[in-house]
Structure 1
Amino acid sequence: MTQEKQEKYYILSAQNPERMLLYGMPDLPDDMNNSWMFGQTFTEEPEQPIHVEITEGFENKQLLPFFDEPPIASQAFVDALIEIGVDNIITYDVLLHNEDYSVTYEGFKAINIIGLIKAAGPGTVYLGDSKLIDASIESLELEPRSIKGLYIFRLAESITTIVVHEKVKRHLESKGFHSLVFTDPGDALIL
């Protein structure tokens, strides 16, 4: 009997002490039913470009290819996701700017990841009572059958957590994108 190789996934985040800081996304139309964190298509599309303000004092800090909060990426990063086979994202043009628009950056996309998956397996160690939407997790065990072959998705137990397939991890690393962190779910501390 042959043993089937288990798919490997990682938690994707962006970390860089010299990073540019961005305020959150502006409210979406019909924001009671729309959120970048819900993992579903919007009921009403946002106007483009979406204006995202750079935090005062961080205008000249390092632009990242990927910001996990808010979910914004360079066009090259989005292209890399599509190249590797990611087919469950919807992107929107973004203009990054400071308060008076004296500093602006184009060529960025807001990413709506379609897929909010309840993927925590029985070995997951929770730090509190919450086990959905905002769970604090000491160690995450993913249940691959729940994932159903997605290359990228949001974790339903903690909706700010983005999970990617090993294939995506390897492809993004091969492209040389800086400031990306891929954490093994078993080593994750999700707060």
Structure 2
Amino acid sequence: MPKKPFLIFGCSSKPRRWLDYDDYFERGYSYNKLDIVWFRGVPFLQEIPQPLYFKLEQKEDGNPDVAEYLPPFLEGFSCPLFRDDLLEILYACGVDNFDVYSTEILDPDSGKVYKNYKAVNIIGAVAAADMEKSEYVLSDGIPLIDVPFDKLVLRKDEIQDLLIFRLAENLTTILVHESIRNVLLDKGYITGEYMDAIQFYEVDKFGFL
């Protein structure tokens, strides 16, 4: 079991289906068209069209990273997509800082449309990194938004009672309390092994951008 109270929350590393990046931008969901920026950690000021439409990439024969598997958490180009059953578990754990939006995900190979995922805006960007104890290199001199950490040490007092939040020093990074990982283990959603349905990384052992 992890020794740290917070872990980095990551997408499955199993061979799986992938979202179509080009389709996402063609629909105008990128921030420069609709000003929808999912990683800011703040509520949207404008109305978001629902459902949001996504498409899976077509299956590619011979690609070892591709399989039929659809994990409970999909990274939607900084827009997290959580399956409904995963959301129910997170709510039951006490998570209450989500704004959620309905989605439809098209499988172009079968024509099937998945409606059991929600696009999730995680409310809360916390400047929780201990910059004196963490290891990183700054390219612009500003320790916010996109700091590339080699080792992350957290200031737990800044986090207060949040169970899941975005790290203000690296906004694409989602941190989650280990109690949630333990619940997912107990319910059989993950096994704790490499290439799991959801990946969890210890903050002081995982370098990231």
Give the TM-score normalised by the residue count of structure 1.
0.86
Matches of 1:28 and 1:16 in 2, distance apart?
25
Q: Does 1:23 align with 2:23?
A: no
Give the aligned residue type for 1:63.
L
Asked whether the equivalents of residues 20 and 63 of structure 1 are also in contact (C-alpha less than 8 Å), the reply is yes
Q: Does 1:103 align with 2:115?
A: no
Deviation at 1:99, TM superposition (A): 5.1
Tell me which residue corresponds to 1:3. none
Deviates more, 1:83-92 or 1:9-18: 9-18
Deviates more, 1:13-22 or 1:100-109: 100-109
Deviation at 1:135, TM superposition (A): 1.3
Matches of 1:57 and 1:45 in 2, distance apart?
34
Give the aligned residue type for 2:199.
V
Unmatched segments (≥5 aa) in structure 1: 1-5
Deviates more, 1:152-161 or 1:54-63: 54-63
One of 96, 99, 114 as aligned partner of 1:87: 96
Tell me which residue corresponds to 1:68. 75
CA root-mean-square deviation: 2.4
Q: Does 1:142 align with 2:142?
A: no
Asked whether the equivalents of residues 14 and 67 of structure 1 are also in contact (C-alpha less than 8 Å), the reply is yes
Q: Does 1:51 align with 2:53?
A: yes
**Alignment CA distance shift 1:7-1:138 (3 Å):** closer
Aligned residues: 185
Asked whether the equivalents of residues 140 and 185 of structure 1 are also in contact (C-alpha less than 8 Å), the reply is yes
Give the SS at the match of 2:207.
coil
One of 178, 183, 190 as aligned partner of 2:201: 183
Matches of 2:157 and 2:172 in 1, distance apart?
21
Unmatched segments (≥5 aa) in structure 2: 61-65, 191-196
Deviation at 1:100, TM superposition (A): 8.4
Runs (4+) of structure 1 moved beyond 6 Å? none
Give the SS at the match of 1:87.
coil
Identity of aligned residues (%): 29
Tell me which residue corresponds to 1:41. 43
Deviation at 1:146, TM superposition (A): 1.1
Give the aligned residue type for 1:65.
P
